[in-house]
Chain A
Amino acid sequence: MKNLRNQKLFPVGAMMTTTNSVAIQKTTRNIRKTVSAFFLSILAWIIALNGPAQEPSVRFIDVNGGTIAEVSAQRQAEQIYLSVDAVRQIFDLEMTDQYNHPRKRLTLKTKGKQIRLQIGNSVVSIDPGGQTRTLPTPPIIIEQQPMLPIAFFTQLLPELNNFEALYNPSLNRVQLRPKGAWTPAAIGDSVNWAIIIDPGHGGADDRGCESSTGLLEKDIVLALAKQLSSISNEQGIQVYLTRQTDTKKTHFERIQVAKRNQGQLFLSLHCNASFSPHEKGIKIYLNNPKGQLRFPSNVQSALTGQRLKILAQANFLKQSQDFAHALQTELNFLTETPVEITELPLVALSEAYMPALVLELGYLSNVEDLEKLSNSEYIAGVAQAIVRAFQRYISSINPPVPSTLLE
């Protein structure tokens, strides 16, 4: 029995030995490949770390979103610094500068003012007048050149030029706009604006979109609406919400809030969703029965009650478009993906006899948008941008006295 088994096993054993040796060779080759790939990737990583770092750039944009200049910057200890030449590119082409190497003093002459800075010192003196200002970060020397901190461009220079600057550090964008030009005081006290904010959906039955993490559209839009209300009231703009709590409201009830308070603008807040996880960004929709989707013209002949409700927005189309562009300009400052405006027949805005928009804040089906919408700082930034859009739109209807600050 043993002999027979041995006789049978011998060739099988030989085959197994051959197979094993082939397998061992393959495994050895695979290990070699993996180890080489590992060391190569480490080498690539070291090269990438020591290689020339991508220099950041800061884009300065004007009040209408147009680019004034995009200037290269240097990053040191998490701070952004710009060259002296950037002052010329952005604020004053005729500016002159003088740098005293031994004393490390920099003097800038711009628009009749003399600004004196010292490397390593946060205090800046301004003549005539002998005023001083303190920067959060002092100027420094990078590659033997004096470099100015970003605050010099977002705080000091705008102040001296009667501008106000909005700085978006995540996108390295600075918007310069006339100081105080759009405050209600500048527009005129006679204008008493009432804006209707409509947080979409609400209640247990109407939750709107839902993210994979359980974040609900109805909660995001209500939180934003409350912030909007608070900021707008501080700015002298009266805001009315169509719902104050997580309750279900019919379209009729929402429109009644607008009518009762004689609203002059209607903004419906929503969060978007798509079948593709790649779709992202803020979108603005306005009600137009002749938009991308449209009601046929032959059906419009009968002015039934339903038709009149649809046509309620027809008289306000131009104002809605102006409001949409104001909102687009302000929101574009916050996001890399350009904000789109689309015209569609919308039920959310039907029966609103005032300029009206639907604002989709971002896609709950997209990871990046979801992260933003979960961030309270981002929501606060959106609220401030919307209030600026209100001011921009109101000023376009009641233009303020041309400001000499713009000269």
Chain B
Amino acid sequence: MSDTQETVNISDIQSERISRAQGGLIEQLAGDAYSSAGFSRLLVIWGITLVLIAVGLGVTLYLIERSKQSLVPTAPPPLPIAANPSDIPPPPQEVNLFLLDTTALTLVPVKIERRLHAELTKRLSQIVTALIQETPPNFRNTIPRGTVLNEAYIDSQQTAYLDFSNHLTDGHIGGTTAELLTITAILKTVFDAFPEEIKQVQILIEGEEVKTLAGHLNLSQPLHLFQ
């Protein structure tokens, strides 16, 4: 008698273990209903609901697609020759970003890959934005965090105007060395990417010319680097 009771008890314990092992999601759905009947019922209800939602989505998408086709029934299929070259994503190109090697204490070129825009000013924007954002391990970015490049222009005298948000000045740590590193990193990155197209760079803050970033360097004029 005691053997039979013990067998029953053990089977109960095992089934309870299995039901507990179903995982958190089912446990949440089932709430306190651990009984197998309640659990099966819930499973069926949710299964049917999910199937209905999937079918509904499928039908909706099919109808939307069909309505699009019906709007331009006479449009000829696009010819490969007629495709706009700018729509084809360009292959990634290598760009040098000048970042601080904290051991050598110098700015060094760090290669990254970017799909660059064909248009010059957009490409300039892309590269300077990458300089602001990228900080690979073992290097320090010399642009204060939170800085945004608002706009970039290039004039007929090959002067690039880079308009930064005020974080470049307000968030700067100060000191002539740090200020020089920030400006030099921008100039080196720009001149490395555009050796022919850009001859000097004028730094602007929120659209205005500024005398300095942190009280030392004179930024009132466009700058280039002594090679």
- A103-111, A130-138, A143-151, A272-280 - interface stretch: A272-280
Interface bin, chain A: 35 or more
B175 touching A298, Cβ below 8 Å: no
B226 touching A271, Cβ below 8 Å: no
> Known interface pairs A4-B10, A296-B199. Does A350 touch B223 (Cβ–Cβ under 8 Å)?
no
Nearest to B209 among chain A residues (CB) is: A306
A1 touching B6, Cβ below 8 Å: yes
> Known interface pairs A278-B103, A344-B180. Does A365 touch B216 (Cβ–Cβ under 8 Å)?
no
Using an 8 Å CB-CB cutoff, how does the interface string of A272-314 with B read, 1 for contact, 0 for none?
A: 1111111100010101011111111011000000100010000
Contacts of A206 in B (CB 8 A): 215
Q: Is A200 interfacial (CB-CB < 8 Å)?
A: yes
Beta-carbon contacts under 8 Å, A345-365 to B: 345-348, 350, 358, 360, 363-365
Candidates B175, B176, B184, B218; contact of A350 at CB < 8 Å: B218
Candidates B105, B174, B221; contact of A273 at CB < 8 Å: B174
Contacts of A294 in B (CB 8 A): 223-226
A276 touching B140, Cβ below 8 Å: yes
Nearest to B6 among chain A residues (CB) is: A1
Candidates A272, A295, A344, A363; contact of B222 at CB < 8 Å: A295
Beta-carbon contacts under 8 Å, B46-80 to A: none
B221 touching A209, Cβ below 8 Å: no
**Residues of chain B at interface, number, CB under 8 A:** 38
How far in angstroms is the closest Cβ of chain B from A302?
11
> Known interface pairs A296-B199, A298-B157. Does A276 touch B105 (Cβ–Cβ under 8 Å)?
yes
Q: Is A226 interfacial (CB-CB < 8 Å)?
A: no
Q: Is B26 interfacial (CB-CB < 8 Å)?
A: no
Contacts of B157 in A (CB 8 A): 298
A276 touching B212, Cβ below 8 Å: no
A346 touching B103, Cβ below 8 Å: no
* A217 CA / B141 CA spacing, docked (Å): 23
B218 touching A310, Cβ below 8 Å: yes
B175 touching A365, Cβ below 8 Å: yes
Nearest to A217 among chain B residues (CB) is: B174
Contacts of A200 in B (CB 8 A): 215
B220 touching A306, Cβ below 8 Å: yes
Candidates A270, A283, A293, A348; contact of B223 at CB < 8 Å: A293
Using an 8 Å CB-CB cutoff, how does the interface string of B161-174 with A read, 1 for contact, 0 for none?
A: 00000000000011
Contacts of A272 in B (CB 8 A): 175-178
* A295 CA / B202 CA spacing, docked (Å): 10
* A97 CA / B212 CA spacing, docked (Å): 63
B105 touching A279, Cβ below 8 Å: yes
Contacts of A273 in B (CB 8 A): 173-175, 177-178
> Known interface pairs A1-B6, A298-B157. Does A345 touch B174 (Cβ–Cβ under 8 Å)?
no
How far in angstroms is the closest Cβ of chain B from A6?
14
Contacts of B142 in A (CB 8 A): 275
> Known interface pairs A294-B223, A347-B211. Does A360 touch B10 (Cβ–Cβ under 8 Å)?
no
* A350 CA / B211 CA spacing, docked (Å): 10
How far in angstroms is the closest Cβ of chain B from A223?
18
Beta-carbon contacts under 8 Å, A301-353 to B: 306, 310, 344-348, 350
Q: Is A208 interfacial (CB-CB < 8 Å)?
A: yes
* A195 CA / B110 CA spacing, docked (Å): 46
Nearest to A281 among chain B residues (CB) is: B177
Contacts of A210 in B (CB 8 A): 174
Candidates A217, A283, A287, A346; contact of B177 at CB < 8 Å: A283
B102 touching A346, Cβ below 8 Å: no
Nearest to A280 among chain B residues (CB) is: B105
Beta-carbon contacts under 8 Å, A195-218 to B: 200-201, 206, 208-210, 217
* A285 CA / B217 CA spacing, docked (Å): 10
Contacts of B133 in A (CB 8 A): none
B140 touching A275, Cβ below 8 Å: yes
> Known interface pairs A276-B100, A292-B225, A293-B226. Does A345 touch B175 (Cβ–Cβ under 8 Å)?
no
A274 touching B174, Cβ below 8 Å: no
Candidates B174, B180, B200; contact of A296 at CB < 8 Å: B200
Q: Is B128 interfacial (CB-CB < 8 Å)?
A: no
How far in angstroms is the closest Cβ of chain B from A281?
10
Candidates A4, A208, A290; contact of B215 at CB < 8 Å: A208
* A289 CA / B140 CA spacing, docked (Å): 28
Contacts of A274 in B (CB 8 A): 105, 175, 177-178, 181
Contacts of B226 in A (CB 8 A): 290-294
Candidates B9, B10, B217, B221; contact of A310 at CB < 8 Å: B221
22 contacts across the A-B interface (CB closer than 8 A) = A1-B9, A209-B174, A210-B174, A272-B178, A273-B177, A275-B173, A279-B177, A285-B176, A289-B218, A293-B183, A293-B217, A295-B221, A296-B200, A298-B157, A310-B218, A310-B220, A344-B176, A345-B221, A347-B218, A348-B216, A360-B176, A365-B173
8 more contacts with CB within 8 A, not counting A274-B175, A346-B216, are A274-B181, A275-B140, A275-B173, A285-B216, A293-B225, A299-B222, A344-B217, A346-B176
Q: Which A positions have Cβ atoms within 8 angstroms of B? A: 1, 4, 200-201, 206, 208-210, 217, 251, 270-279, 283, 285, 287, 289-296, 298-299, 306, 310, 344-348, 350, 358, 360, 363-365
Going nearest first, the 4 A-B pairs with the smallest beta carbon separation are A273-B175, A345-B218, A347-B218, A276-B102
